[in-house]
Amino acid sequence: MFEEIKKSLKVSIWFMFLTFPIMVIKVNLTDKVIIWRWKNLILVGIGSFFLSFIWRYLLERKAKKAKKEEMGIGQTSIFLKIFNNPKYAKPLYIIFLLFILAFPFIFSMYQTNIMISALIYVMLGLGLNIVVGLAGLLDLGYVAFYAVGAYSYALLNYHFHINFWLALPIGGLLAAIFGIVLGFPVLRLRGDYLAIVTLGFGEIIRLILENWDEFSFGPSGISNIPRPSLFGINLGVKESTIFIYYLIVFMSIITIFVVNRLQNSRLGRAWIALREDEIACQAMGIDKTKTKLTAFALGATWAGFGGVIFAAKTTFINPASFTFLESAIILSIVVLGGMGSIQGVILAALIMILLPEYLRAFSDYRMLIFGASMVLMMVFRPEGLIPSSRRKYEYDPTKR
Amino acid sequence: MDYFFELFFSGLSKGSIYALIALGYTMVYGIIELINFAHGEIYMIGAFTALIISGILTILGFNKISILILATIGAVIYSSAYGFTVEKIAYKPLRGSSRLSPLISAIGMSIFLQNYVLLAQTPNFVSFPELIPEIKWLEPYSSFLGSTDFVIIVTTAIVLVLLTILIKFTKIGKAMRATAQNQVMAALVGVNVDKIISVTFIIGSGLAAIGGVLIGSHVGQINFYIGFIAGIKAFTAAVLGGIGSIPGAVLGGLVLGWTESFGTGYISSDYEDVFAFCLLVLILIFRPAGILGESTQQKV
């Protein structure tokens, strides 16, 4: 016990030292005053003292759990038990679906709008899940395809008055083409090189949108994008929000359906094989080029759809909506949810988007909490909220 | 011709700073194969620490040279401390897990540190005091080589020589090279791998802090967000040169600096960042391992 307190004291002193200049001192050079904020130092000291206990306790627990699993007596979490048992899972899904369907009638317009953006992220997350979770290609520029979708609707509408319903497939198709265009040069790259090239690609798209005024109207963006119409009838703001809500619910369900079918198809298994071991995968006769390109194209398509819906929802887009932070958020949705796991990605998208919205009370601290929780999540639960379970073919001697 | 030299030297000084930050990326990558996304933030914290220290000393009335030296030392100490702590919190518990987890953790750390500085200091740009004094005998060349540029280039050169000596000729450098080649073997022959990883983070962060002080006095203003774009650029430089290779990081930084400087000077200043990324994509297509990187065949 005494040892533990000593350790925590050390940590506490270290953090007081570490945060000293930034948390305590504030210099105003124009008025030549130094502001000392000693209160912060005490807060950091006490906070880190207690947090270090919790930190060490949690690390120990994690190590114990890993040991147990090694010995083969690891238990699966409650989450997994529920999700893997159809007896519990089915009613849960149905309740969840009913809740989602009834949502705009229970909650206010404001809440519905937040839910729409959360569901857009569900779509984006599931799309990126194909690229990162299934095919194992680390894409840090996914937001570029989202931007392609959004801008293709906005620009096509501006120049040619193409309506939403025609723009939706065109946006998806254009994003897919961009996915293939990006995919070709990076086919030979592995892992982290791929990550940085995709990051660069995302930034290039954003910078072009920002600087090429004649094409994309620069940083001021495009406004007055029409909302979708229902069989030619133009809806009011409230009705069209509800309409977009059901549209995005419908699109999400299609996405879930498609991704789920793909996952267990020949192509999906090829992706997983590619993720696990490229060389072994080629040896099994899988066409690496084709498999990778389809992953990029299909992943990008969902981002394109998401982009078109986003543009229709906000009626205004500018390049500031498509920064690297957006890519990072989508990627963390995939990883936090559990790579390759559909339920996980949905849950993570809802948490990641809804939580900051409801944390508005702490609005100053919300990005701080967001960053910290990403780190903590990775440290204590790196497999994600709902780890994906691989389909296994087991021999059961009792069922002969 | 003066214009050419002006661009040449501004590219050289910019490239030197990229190189200083890129070294941190490349050293960390060489040892634990991790893109340390929080590295840009370490550089930003270095710049802020230097700003705070130099602010206090200016008010207390120290002279310029001593402020420059003390602020740099302070920035290096604090950045190293931050680098060390970030590794212990966000990366060490993740050793041995899948490759993506430390990357996400790094992105989270980067967001956290940005907002930490934003909340504790200021969301606005703050002006950075001019720390580098005018050098008298440079005046005839001042049309294309300012004294700040000169100091940046010379400092970078000195730091690089010291780093090379450290890595090539000291015991700890030998241990670092061994760990980079094969962690398990290094541990078997008695290298304390954990310590070496910490040392790598400390050195890399210290270099970034020097970059932070230099860029602060070069540009004249900083905010909490400068780490992000500099981090991406520096990482691009590291990849350009061949990640994991120390001369590669320097070469990559310089090539990137020149590309940007000539690109903006002769073509268009709106697309400064686009040039950098296009260069990266082109080089990776034709030389996937970077300019100086060795392309290793993947083994089964």
User: What is the residue-wise DSSP string for B7-52?
Assistant: HHHHHHHHHHHHHHHHHHHHHHHHHH----TTHHHHHHHHHHHHHH
Q: Which of B52, B55, B108 sits opposite A374 (nearest CB)?
A: B108
Please report the pLDDT score of residue A174 as a whole number: 92
| Residue B1 CB partners (closer than 8 Å, separation 6+) | none
Please report the pLDDT score of residue A176 as a whole number: 93
**Residue predicted with more confidence, B132 or B18:** B18
B232 touches chain A (CB under 8 A): yes
- Give the three-class secondary structure for B221: strand
Contact B55 A191 (CB under 8 A): no
Domain assignment present for residue B24? The answer is no
Contact B112 A40 (CB under 8 A): no
Enter the ipTM: 0.84
> Which chain A residues contact residue B127 at CB under 8 A?
29
Q: Which of A44, A375, A385 has the highest number of chain B CBs within 10 A, making it the mutation to test binding with B?
A: A375
Task: Report B:131-170 residues touching A (Cβ under 8 A).
Answer: none
Tell me what the mean pLDDT of segment B177-192 comes to.
Answer: 89
End-to-end CA distance of chain A: 56
Tell me what the mean pLDDT of segment B239-250 comes to.
Answer: 84
Residue B75 pLDDT > 90: yes
B129 touches chain A (CB under 8 A): yes
Cα torsion through B64, B70, B74, B76, rounded to 10: 90
A187 touches chain B (CB under 8 A): no
- Nearest to residue B109, comparing CAs of B228, B276, B243? B228
Task: Report A:314-343 residues touching B (Cβ under 8 A).
Answer: 324-325, 328, 331-332, 335-336, 339
Task: Report A:380-399 residues touching B (Cβ under 8 A).
Answer: 382
Q: Which of B81, B236, B285 sits opposite A185 (nearest CB)?
A: B285
> Which chain A residues contact residue B81 at CB under 8 A?
17-18
Q: Tokens 């498509």 — which residue?
A: A322
Q: Which of A185, A211, A375 sits opposite B271 (nearest CB)?
A: A211
Residue B48 pLDDT > 80: yes
| Residue A287 CB partners (closer than 8 Å, separation 6+) | none
Q: Decide if A324 contacts A195 (C-beta within 8 A).
A: no
Q: Where are the alpha helices (DSSP H) in chain A?
A: 2-19, 38-70, 78-84, 86-106, 109-128, 143-160, 164-183, 191-211, 213-216, 237-263, 266-276, 278-283, 288-314, 324-337, 342-358, 366-380
Please report the pLDDT score of residue A45 as a whole number: 87
Q: How far apart are CA B250 and CA A130, in angstroms?
A: 36
B29 touches chain A (CB under 8 A): yes
To the nearest whole Å, the CA of B137 is away from the closest chain A CA by 30
Domain assignment present for residue B161? The answer is yes
Contact B281 A197 (CB under 8 A): yes
B295 touches chain A (CB under 8 A): no
Q: How far apart are CA B208 and CA B205, in angstroms?
A: 5
Tell me what the mean pLDDT of segment B185-212 comes to.
Answer: 91
Kind of pairing between the strands at B126-127 and B221-222? antiparallel
> Which chain A residues contact residue B98 at CB under 8 A?
339, 382
B59 touches chain A (CB under 8 A): yes
Task: Report A:261-290 residues touching B (Cβ under 8 A).
Answer: 277-280
Please report the pLDDT score of residue B4 as a whole number: 84
| Number of other residues whose CB lies within 10 A of the CB of residue A293 | 18
**Residue predicted with more confidence, B256 or A87:** B256
Contact B288 A22 (CB under 8 A): no
Please report the pLDDT score of residue B81 as a whole number: 94
Contact B277 A200 (CB under 8 A): yes
Query: Residue A73 corresponds to which amino acid?
Result: I
Please report the pLDDT score of residue B188 as a whole number: 93
Please report the pLDDT score of residue B295 as a whole number: 61
Please report the pLDDT score of residue B195 as a whole number: 92
Contact A332 B107 (CB under 8 A): yes
Please report the pLDDT score of residue B45 as a whole number: 92
Contact A193 B51 (CB under 8 A): no
Contact A280 B300 (CB under 8 A): yes
Q: Which of A214, A379, A383, A388 has the highest number of chain B CBs within 10 A, making it the mutation to test binding with B?
A: A379
Mean residue pLDDT across chain B: 85
Please report the pLDDT score of residue A348 as a whole number: 87
Tell me what the mean pLDDT of segment B191-196 comes to.
Answer: 91
- Residue A353, CB half-sphere, CA atoms under 13 Å: how many? 25
Question: Range of B218's domain?
Answer: 33-236
Please give the CATH architecture assigned to the domain spanning A107-380.
Orthogonal Bundle (1.10)
Q: Which of A62, A368, A374 sits opposite B107 (nearest CB)?
A: A374
Contact A382 B29 (CB under 8 A): no
With a cut of 50, which residues of chain A have pLDDT below it? none
Q: Which of A23, A138, A379 sits opposite B93 (nearest CB)?
A: A379
Q: Decide if A332 contacts A355 (C-beta within 8 A).
A: no
Domain assignment present for residue B274? The answer is no
A43 touches chain B (CB under 8 A): no
Please report the pLDDT score of residue A9 as a whole number: 86
To the nearest whole Å, the CA of B257 is away from the closest chain A CA by 16
To the nearest whole Å, the CA of A241 is away from the closest chain B CA by 32
Please report the pLDDT score of residue B171 as a whole number: 92
Q: How far apart are CA B17 and CA B152, in angstroms?
A: 8
**Residue predicted with more confidence, B281 or A289:** A289
Please report the pLDDT score of residue B228 as a whole number: 82
B288 touches chain A (CB under 8 A): yes
B60 touches chain A (CB under 8 A): no
Q: Decide if A337 contacts A345 (C-beta within 8 A).
A: yes
A372 touches chain B (CB under 8 A): yes
Q: Which of B52, B103, B112 sits opposite A372 (nearest CB)?
A: B112
Tell me what the mean pLDDT of segment B83-91 comes to.
Answer: 91
**What are the boundaries of each domain within chain A?**
2-70, 107-380
Contact B119 A364 (CB under 8 A): yes
Tell me what the mean pLDDT of segment B226-249 comes to.
Answer: 84
Phi (first) and psi of residue A26, to 5 degrees: -140, 125
Domain assignment present for residue B173? The answer is yes
Please report the pLDDT score of residue A396 as a whole number: 65
The domain tally of chain B equals: 1
